[in-house]
Amino acid sequence: MPESSSETHAEENCPIESCPLGEAHDRLIEASYFLHQMAEHYHNPAPFRYNGNAFLSSLKSTTEMLRMELERSRKVEWFKANKGHLSSDPVLSRFMVGRNIVLHQRPLLRGSKLQAGIFRGRKLKLAFTLDVSHDRTTMDILENTLKPAYVGFLIDEEHSAIGEQLGIQRYYHVGELHESSDVLSVSYSAFGRMTRFVARAHEAVGGVDSGLTDETIEEWNPVDAVSLLLEGDLDPDAYERWGWVGAS
């Protein structure tokens, strides 16, 4: 997942060491770090889950740090007047509850759904759906379950149909966070919403430009870039071995 332009802009415009809301600002950047790690480890469920839990905690902690710093700046009335925006926000309110569930009750992320089969390019051609309730990696499932079962059956070993190969598309869903959107997408949305709230708080303490107001932060769906894993992603030499390189 590419680095958020708002994150870079924020560090340039409002350095943490001189920021009037430095603790909240730093905790927001911490949340951004865990969000990036979720995307980086998308196909490895254990670290994806661990980073997801940490993201929930950092996002919640951002509001707590914000309240304390606004109290010190004698702007706590702004927080009292605006905290309702957090509890009424359909995404952020669920993330606050989700953090409490993870902290006090049980894991939120218990499994994932896979579409495994043949892809032409990066488009699904033929697949079946699996529910995976454990921490088995996508790489392991592709190499040790999908390929032994379907190479030589649904697809020939030489991959003579150019552009067609086995792949797995993975999605994580948590009903407590969103009814239908995957965890990574809705986490990205939650981060964008919290970013805008913290930006407004910066303005409240003296018109400080936080650099956190990039409106593009929710326009890209990160799961589109990371959810699909193909044979060729694991074996970059495969395309040449299959004779696809230079083929028309």
pLDDT digits (tens, 9 = 90+) for 13-65: 566 666 778 899 899 999 999 999 999 999 999 999 999 989 999 999 999 99
Q: Report residues of the chain scoring pLDDT below 50.
A: 1-6, 8-12, 216, 248
Q: What pLDDT, on a 0 to 100 scale, did the predictor assign at position 109?
A: 72
Domain tally for the chain? 2
Is 144 inside a domain boundary?
yes
Q: What pLDDT, on a 0 to 100 scale, did the predictor assign at position 241?
A: 94
Domain that holds residue 120: 112-171+228-241
Q: What pLDDT, on a 0 to 100 scale, did the predictor assign at position 5?
A: 43
Same domain, residue pair 234 and 119? yes
Is 176 inside a domain boundary?
no
Is 223 inside a domain boundary?
no
Same domain, residue pair 92 and 80? yes
Same domain, residue pair 140 and 158? yes
**Prediction pTM value:** 0.84
Q: What pLDDT, on a 0 to 100 scale, did the predictor assign at position 6?
A: 45
Same domain, residue pair 83 and 193? yes
DSSP string, the chain: -PPPHHHHHHHHHS-GGG-TTHHHHHHHHHHHHHHHHHHHTTTSHHHHHHHHHHHHHHHHHHHHHHHHHHHHTT-HHHHHHHTHHHHH-TTHHHHHHHHHHHHHT--S---EEEEEEEEETTEEEEEEEEEE-S---HHHHIIIIIHHHHBTTTB-TT--STTEEEEEEEE---TTT-SSS-HHHHHHHHHHHHHHHHHHHHHHTTS---S---GGGGSS-THHHHSEEEHHHH-TTHHHHTT-TT--
